[in-house]
A and B are shown apart, each in its own frame.
Chain A
Amino acid sequence: MGLVEAEAVVKHFPITKGFLRRRVGEVKAVDGVNLSIKEGATLALVGESGSGKTTLARVILRLLPATSGRVSFDGREITTLDDGALRAVRQKMQIVFQNPASSLNPRRRINEIIEEPLLIHRVGTPGERRRRVGELLERVELPSQDFMFRYPHSLSGGQRQRVAIARALALDPRFIVLDEPTSALDVSVQAKIITLLRRLQRDMGLTYLVISHDLSLVRNVADVIAVMYLGRVVETAAVAALFGDPKHPYTRALLSAIPTVSDEESALIPEKITLGGEIPSPASVPSGCAFHPRCYARIEGCDRVTPELVRVGPDHHASCILYDPAHGAPGLHGGGSSGMD
């Protein structure tokens, strides 16, 4: 049993039209996702824009109500908690947003920004809170004397992201959602933030859910990866299995599109696949397998049958008709790795 569990989570947004806000359709942002994140581990949700990864994370934190399905934290279902009980759970679940330039209030000093969660949850006396803010700044490697009373605009992007991390740590959380934590930063700064996040995880036993579109980054931070496409998880596996033996045609295409910086990496990439088209709008998800209009391996039936996640290896699941025993599991040919059992 993981610290965080999601079961059949669905989040649909209505599309309304006209003065009477008549419901004319829905955006299927998340369409039946199961996830389990072990305590102390990092799960990465990867996918392109519109794949539903951010919506899913928000439903898990209950920043958005789920349309259906259950989310539990530390064995306790939170989808149905009332506000009072939710408040207590929320202390243990935090989020760090993508762009620190917009997630920090420009009119507040750094100490006020980091103190805010403590005030909201009425933790400690003013003196204790002050000490705590100093401690948190040191934790994220910002000397507290220099940074305490500055405003966000006078900080570099990397320093701002450290402040956002310090704020997320203020209430001693057990679980943190990192939504594209370094995509607004340069690589030399990104590397330092990732090093910090890893150290914090080790020292504090944190559990992370990382949202990212960058597969090379995810390769270096995650234990388990879930690849999303149009609101569904199409493949999930431990890092080594996902990168070493990707099964789903979409995962293979994504991997082959990564621009690499060394020959060693190029050698790891499966055959070159260039996908046609773009991810369709989640307001009009294709029938059957949502990926079928772009899929280079589609067979008869892909446009009708919605594939379920099936086991393709130890702790490795993919939702593709090619691996489904109910359809004979022909496997993906021409990929060089047909390790089907």
Chain B
Amino acid sequence: MNPTGPLLAIQDLGIHMRTYEGRARVLNGVRLAIHEGETVALVGETGCGKSITAKAILGLLPPNAEIVSGSIAFKGRDLLRLSEEELHGIRGRQIAMIFQDPSTALNPVFTVGEQLTDVVLWQGARSATIGRRVTPEVRQRCLEILRLVRIPDPEGAFGRYPVELSGGMRQRVLIALALVGRPELLIADELGTALDVSVQDQILLELRELVRTGGLSVLYITHNLGVARLVSDRIYVMYGGEIAEMAPAAEIFRRQLHPYSQGLLAAVPRLTGTMGEGIEGRIPDYVNPPPACRFEPRCPFRMEVCRLQRPLLVEAERDRWVACHLHGSREDSGSGEESG
């Protein structure tokens, strides 16, 4: 698809965390790629490892986390091997993050303008730049970005404190903060899910437009499958610290290959008046995870092999990857079962 390779390529990422209960194997061989101009959604439920994956990309893992395997290549450079100095030049500039909660992610004691100009003036500097002189060009750049995220009266908003803004406006300011450094990759963590549905809808559609016109690539982290369907080109479903399935967004909502994806989709309440009964059991214990397939204890289709051998993520059908013994890879599909 892209001759120069993906913008971001995560290979075999393994992360352990030291906890009181022992060593938690929170990520186990995660593989994920984002191509230029593409919006990818990473979906999964609480505790599946999606936020840890985002933090690993940005080098923001908590101190008790240890990377035990893998690489995260951004434009060919492995972010895990960069010095803190080099990472500083990438984080917040080439890769930016939109944080989840608009009510807590902004600093309440600085105005919107101060927080925006700080990012522009920062230029890789180590110390905060709030209080430094703001040139008319910098101010102009900030107002332009506020206008881009459709904040009415940007001049007024520039001088306001976050508390003076509504939830939707704060979310827009957070998007502006991420975009003002002109990033190539945007990571959006649960964007809009803290907002009312009519405001969420506005913001998602606006962001989709910004992404399309700006040639941005986006990694969208969400638990909301409907939101993922609305915004993304491709979807990764994560379960128990592993990628369970990957497919184009248009296809996965019609038919899911992994039993977990099937259970998850079935549990979503629908406007058609249907709603499944949910998935039995609970997420795995990361200190003592199931030995082979991590979904096996909850899986309605479990077999002998599921406890013995870890299913690898293989391309079961064209552009559709799944980690499940029910599906063989396209090459050796002799024993693999076609799903219905």
| Complexed CA–CA distance, A262 and B271 (Å) | 9
The reply to whether the CB of B198 lies closer than 8 angstroms to some CB of chain A is: yes
Shortest distance between the CB of A228 and any CB in chain B (Å):
12
- Let me know if B200 and A262 touch, CB within 8 A: no
Task: List B contacts of A278 (CB < 8 A).
Answer: 166-169, 196, 198-199
* A243: contacting residue among B196, B271, B276, CB under 8 A: B271
Shortest distance between the CB of B265 and any CB in chain A (Å):
6
* B229: contacting residue among A158, A253, A260, A274, CB under 8 A: A260
Shortest distance between the CB of A87 and any CB in chain B (Å):
37
* A192: contacting residue among B266, B274, B278, CB under 8 A: B278
- Let me know if B271 and A188 touch, CB within 8 A: no
| Complexed CA–CA distance, A187 and B229 (Å) | 16
- Let me know if B196 and A260 touch, CB within 8 A: no
- Let me know if A188 and B263 touch, CB within 8 A: yes
- Let me know if A48 and B198 touch, CB within 8 A: yes
The number of residue pairs between A and B whose CB atoms lie closer than 8 Å in the complex comes to 127
- Let me know if A279 and B196 touch, CB within 8 A: yes
- Let me know if B271 and A186 touch, CB within 8 A: no
* A260: contacting residue among B168, B271, B279, CB under 8 A: B271
The reply to whether the CB of B264 lies closer than 8 angstroms to some CB of chain A is: yes
Shortest distance between the CB of B120 and any CB in chain A (Å):
27
- Let me know if B225 and A191 touch, CB within 8 A: no
Shortest distance between the CB of A175 and any CB in chain B (Å):
23
Which chain A residues (172-190) contact chain B, with CB distance < 8 Å? 186-190
Task: List A contacts of B264 (CB < 8 A).
Answer: 187-188
- Let me know if B278 and A191 touch, CB within 8 A: yes
* A274: contacting residue among B205, B270, B277, CB under 8 A: B205
- Let me know if B269 and A217 touch, CB within 8 A: yes
- Let me know if B270 and A262 touch, CB within 8 A: yes
- Let me know if B269 and A219 touch, CB within 8 A: yes
A264 — nearest CB in chain B belongs to which residue? B272
The reply to whether the CB of A234 lies closer than 8 angstroms to some CB of chain B is: no
Q: Given A191-B276, A219-B273, A274-B205, are A261 and B268 neighbors across the interface (CB < 8 Å)? A: yes
| Complexed CA–CA distance, A258 and B192 (Å) | 13
Q: Given A260-B229, A260-B270, A274-B202, are A213 and B253 neighbors across the interface (CB < 8 Å)? A: no
Q: Given A48-B198, A262-B253, A278-B199, are A219 and B271 neighbors across the interface (CB < 8 Å)? A: yes
* B270: contacting residue among A48, A49, A192, A219, CB under 8 A: A219
The reply to whether the CB of A118 lies closer than 8 angstroms to some CB of chain B is: no
- Let me know if A259 and B230 touch, CB within 8 A: yes
* A191: contacting residue among B168, B197, B275, CB under 8 A: B275
- Let me know if A257 and B271 touch, CB within 8 A: no
* B277: contacting residue among A191, A264, A265, CB under 8 A: A191
Task: List B contacts of A254 (CB < 8 A).
Answer: 197-198
Which chain A residues (208-240) contact chain B, with CB distance < 8 Å? 213-217, 219-220, 239
The reply to whether the CB of A269 lies closer than 8 angstroms to some CB of chain B is: yes
Task: List A contacts of B254 (CB < 8 A).
Answer: 262-263
The reply to whether the CB of B223 lies closer than 8 angstroms to some CB of chain A is: yes
- Let me know if B196 and A213 touch, CB within 8 A: yes
The reply to whether the CB of A241 lies closer than 8 angstroms to some CB of chain B is: no
The reply to whether the CB of A337 lies closer than 8 angstroms to some CB of chain B is: no
B227 — nearest CB in chain A belongs to which residue? A259
Task: List B contacts of A239 (CB < 8 A).
Answer: 273
- Let me know if B201 and A274 touch, CB within 8 A: yes
Which chain A residues (100-140) contact chain B, with CB distance < 8 Å? none
* B198: contacting residue among A158, A194, A220, A275, CB under 8 A: A275
| Complexed CA–CA distance, A262 and B266 (Å) | 11
- Let me know if B278 and A216 touch, CB within 8 A: no
The reply to whether the CB of B233 lies closer than 8 angstroms to some CB of chain A is: no
The reply to whether the CB of A195 lies closer than 8 angstroms to some CB of chain B is: yes
B48 — nearest CB in chain A belongs to which residue? A186
- Let me know if B278 and A214 touch, CB within 8 A: no
Task: List B contacts of A158 (CB < 8 A).
Answer: 282
Task: List A contacts of B230 (CB < 8 A).
Answer: 259
Task: List A contacts of B46 (CB < 8 A).
Answer: 157, 186
Task: List A contacts of B268 (CB < 8 A).
Answer: 187, 216, 261
- Let me know if B269 and A259 touch, CB within 8 A: no
| Complexed CA–CA distance, A192 and B225 (Å) | 18
| Complexed CA–CA distance, A274 and B276 (Å) | 30
Shortest distance between the CB of B20 and any CB in chain A (Å):
13
- Let me know if A220 and B275 touch, CB within 8 A: yes
- Let me know if A265 and B270 touch, CB within 8 A: yes
* B282: contacting residue among A156, A194, A257, A274, CB under 8 A: A156
- Let me know if A48 and B279 touch, CB within 8 A: no
- Let me know if A192 and B277 touch, CB within 8 A: yes
A259 — nearest CB in chain B belongs to which residue? B226
The reply to whether the CB of B308 lies closer than 8 angstroms to some CB of chain A is: no
The reply to whether the CB of A268 lies closer than 8 angstroms to some CB of chain B is: yes
- Which of A49, A157, A256, A259 is packed against the most chain B CB atoms within 10 Å? A259
- Let me know if A220 and B253 touch, CB within 8 A: no
| Complexed CA–CA distance, A257 and B205 (Å) | 10
- Let me know if A215 and B271 touch, CB within 8 A: yes
| Complexed CA–CA distance, A194 and B276 (Å) | 10
A48 — nearest CB in chain B belongs to which residue? B196
- Let me know if A190 and B278 touch, CB within 8 A: yes
- Let me know if B271 and A265 touch, CB within 8 A: yes
The reply to whether the CB of B118 lies closer than 8 angstroms to some CB of chain A is: no
The reply to whether the CB of B224 lies closer than 8 angstroms to some CB of chain A is: yes
| Complexed CA–CA distance, A213 and B194 (Å) | 11
The reply to whether the CB of B36 lies closer than 8 angstroms to some CB of chain A is: no
Shortest distance between the CB of A20 and any CB in chain B (Å):
25
Q: What are 16 A-B residue pairs whose CB atoms fall within 8 Å in the complex?
A: A156-B282, A158-B282, A187-B225, A190-B267, A190-B278, A191-B277, A215-B197, A216-B226, A216-B271, A257-B201, A258-B197, A262-B253, A264-B270, A265-B272, A274-B205, A278-B167
